[in-house]
Amino acid sequence: MTGDDTESGLTDDPSLEERRLQAKLDAGTITEDEYARLTALRFGNDPAAFSFADAAAFYGLTEDELREEMAWLSGGGRS
């Protein structure tokens, strides 16, 4: 594994990847695909097969509602 693998999120340690993705969420730089991957990792689903639409359905939200939630979680909606 190279440093590039770690930066792109391709690690052998799910907890390390989860922390990296959480940091991106906290910084407001996470993508929809990364958010789906974070959700899958947290709840024991297969990250490679878990889409943003799957994440929205998992939370009982529409994709637009999940985007709003992501923005809020990223600090966009906090005061």
Which DSSP state fits 47? Answer: G
* Confidence class for position 10, pLDDT limits 50, 70, 90: low
Give residue for tokens 């929205």.
56
- Residue-range domain boundaries for the chain: 14-73
pLDDT in tens, 20-72: 999 999 999 999 999 999 999 999 999 999 999 999 999 999 999 999 999 99
Q: What pLDDT shows up at residue 77? A: 56
* Closest by CA position to 66, among listed 28, 35, 43, 38: 35
What is the reported pLDDT for 11?
Answer: 55
pTM: 0.78
> What is the rounded average pLDDT for all residues in the chain?
86
